[in-house]
Structure 1
Amino acid sequence: MNPLIKVIIPAYNEEDSIGKVIRDIPATVTEVIVVSNNSTDATEQQAKEAGATVLQEQRKGYGYACLKGMHYIAANEPLPDIVVFLDGDYSDYPEELTKLVAPIVEDDIDFVVGARVPELREAGSMTGPQIFGNWLATTLMKVFFRSTFTDLGPFRAIKYDKLLALNMEDKTYGWTVEMQLKALKKKYSYRELPVKYRNRIGVSKVSGTVKGAIFAGVKILGWIFKYSIKG
């Protein structure tokens, strides 16, 4: 029996890309949920026309948008077996979703992260601060938690019951690292899979600004040190 898969896409002013993202998602997905994070352009209209369920989250923050999507899923049956998180900027390749969920379906792995490895990355698709931040965060995770993660990539899949058990709480930039740290603490089985990555459509709201890059770095390191102190 095929697993029931739902996709959550946080989106803030992604009118030029969101339709492409949704249309490239494999037909095996049961529902695509786009959470418009206070968008002021035609993101919501484009998402609806592409066939997605569209929610609104007025509070700005990546985590706020993801939590909104999770609350919607919890209130609407059928509940999924797997939840996939995907960005709305078309930097990831949505068609790789099938590859991403395969370890969960075939090998009973709890959590899979798409790793944006250098050999599959388009030139310029990740900024210097992003590359350094990923290296620093994953290196600290190796030191403190013996992790094998090499990336904090946003394209990820997780069993729905395991996602609920994480009690996710970060509202902004720390969402991805919080998920990985909590999965490590709970000793979930996990796997990284190399995924392709290209230059996003439009300007990043995080890595594209100095303020965003600094805030993201602070949140990520804050989560790591919080959990390393807890032991």
Structure 2
Amino acid sequence: MYREKTVGVVLPAYNEEGFVGDVIRGMPEYVDRIYAIDDQSTDDTWSEIRAAAREDGDRTHRPKGEDIEPMMADGGTTALENRAFVDDAIGRVVPIQHWHNRGAGGAIKTGYLAALKDGVDATVTVDADGQMDLDQMSRLLEPLVENEADYAKGNRLLSKEYRAAMPRFRFVGNAILSFLTKIAAGYWKTMDPQNGYTAISNEALEAIAVENLYEYYGYCNDLLVKLNVHGMRVADVTMPAVYGNEESSIQYSRYIPKVSLMLLQNFLWRLKAKYLVLDFHPLALFYLVGAGTAAVGLLGVGLTLLTALVAVGIPLSGSTGLLLLVAGVALLLFAMVFDMAESEHLETQVQ
């Protein structure tokens, strides 16, 4: 336990042989349960999880069922039996193996369902590739324990030193996705949304629909949107990253378009759910009218340029199109200012 709060760690692993065992063995003593999910790896990840679990159990002297009741490790539960095989706990480690490969988000979802079943107070997500400093875990837990946040996430962009350590192509991609996620999720001060080092409270997990979480790599962006709709407080915690010999399984040519489309859909869903269904706020109309006006204006400008090239008369003049474009952009910026104000009290940064 950490300061009287039970702690679970969700450890998704796909082809992490040579890394996942070290992560399990290095887990802090105060962690009560480690949900190690093998996402149908093609290497010996599953065997390494079980071997490391036995070593961890011998080292920490954790008998089965010592810390958390009710124990989820009973060979499978109704909520998870269609997703994965849940093995008996080995010490504090619960080995879970997916029946089918479900992706990073799918593995996180499985771990969250297991943590909900156990009633864990705070659930941390840790990658199995060794990039995350386990000594920093307590810094993620502190905002939850102090009741300052419902969800805490690492942020590698708050520190100049940490930003310099990040490979350039990752930094550029991260910056773009940070901006898109700000718009989609409504947490305008939050950065580094791709950081998978997070901690979430039991109350926040119960508030969101875990079963509906996105199962691809954009799960962390999707989660932020759902947290915002439910009014959950988010803390950005300065956090280093460790880049070693691991290889990313992300295919960026497929990743960026897919996640961008998901963010657009989530943005529209957030406007409807938060500002039209759960409550009414005019910023939803500002967003919609602004986007429509800007689109018509952009179309007008484009048609005018095309007219100049093909010498065909178009009734919408270039000046009118430009005026509509400017008006639309102004409405969008106005909506963003409203949006920032609505969620400002839900955000905090921890250096």
Residue number in structure 1 paired with 2:255: 216
Residue 224 of structure 1 and its aligned partner are, at CA, apart by: 2.1
Q: Which amino acid aligns with 2:221?
A: V
Is 1:24–1:95's contact at 8 Å kept on the other side of the alignment?
no
**Residue 23, structure 1, aligned to residue 64, structure 2:** no
Which gives a bigger RCO, structure 1 or 2 (Cα 8 Å, sep 6+)? 1
When structure 1 is superposed on structure 2, of 31-40 and 139-148 the one drifting more is 139-148
1:128-182 deviation digits (Å, cap 9, x = unpaired): 0x32232122213334525211112000001022123221321112211001121
Residue number in structure 1 paired with 2:240: 196
**Residue 62, structure 1, aligned to residue 104, structure 2:** yes
**Residue 181, structure 1, aligned to residue 225, structure 2:** yes
Structure 2 CA distance, aligned partners of 1:146 and 1:174? 16
Is 1:122–1:199's contact at 8 Å kept on the other side of the alignment?
no
Is 1:142–1:148's contact at 8 Å kept on the other side of the alignment?
yes
1:229 maps to which of 268, 274, 277: 268
Residue number in structure 2 paired with 1:139: 179
Q: Which amino acid aligns with 2:139?
A: K
Residue 189 of structure 1 and its aligned partner are, at CA, apart by: 0.9
Structure 1 CA distance, aligned partners of 2:218 and 2:182? 18
Q: 1:139 to 1:122 in 2, by over 3 A?
A: closer
Q: 1:54 to 1:146 in 2, by over 3 A?
A: closer
Q: Secondary structure at the match of 1:148?
A: coil
2:161 maps to which of 106, 112, 119: 119
1:24-77 deviation digits (Å, cap 9, x = unpaired): 2211111111110111222122222222321111223111111222233344x3
Q: 1:38 to 1:66 in 2, by over 3 A?
A: same
Is 1:26–1:98's contact at 8 Å kept on the other side of the alignment?
no
Q: Which amino acid aligns with 1:41?
A: D
**Residue 35, structure 1, aligned to residue 17, structure 2:** no
Q: Which amino acid aligns with 2:262?
A: W
Greater percentage in helix: 2
Structure 2 CA distance, aligned partners of 1:110 and 1:146? 14
Residue 222 of structure 1 and its aligned partner are, at CA, apart by: 2.1
Q: Secondary structure at the match of 2:146?
A: helix
Q: Secondary structure at the match of 2:265?
A: helix
Q: 1:174 to 1:143 in 2, by over 3 A?
A: closer
Q: Which amino acid aligns with 1:81?
A: D
Residue number in structure 2 paired with 1:2: 4
Is 1:111–1:188's contact at 8 Å kept on the other side of the alignment?
yes
Structure 2 CA distance, aligned partners of 1:14 and 1:86? 13
1:68-115 deviation digits (Å, cap 9, x = unpaired): 22233344x3x1011111110001112211111111102341010101
Structure 2 CA distance, aligned partners of 1:202 and 1:154? 15
Which structure has the larger Rg?
A: 2
Structure 2 CA distance, aligned partners of 1:60 and 1:224? 20
Is 2:132–2:197's contact at 8 Å kept on the other side of the alignment?
yes
Q: Which amino acid aligns with 1:44?
A: W
Is 2:116–2:202's contact at 8 Å kept on the other side of the alignment?
no
**Superposed CA RMSD:** 2.0
Structure 2 CA distance, aligned partners of 1:121 and 1:90? 18
Q: 1:64 to 1:226 in 2, by over 3 A?
A: same
- Unpaired runs of at least 5, structure 2: 54-92, 272-351
Structure 2 CA distance, aligned partners of 1:103 and 1:28? 16
Q: Percent identity?
A: 23
Residue 218 of structure 1 and its aligned partner are, at CA, apart by: 2.4
Residue 201 of structure 1 and its aligned partner are, at CA, apart by: 3.8
Q: Secondary structure at the match of 2:154?
A: strand
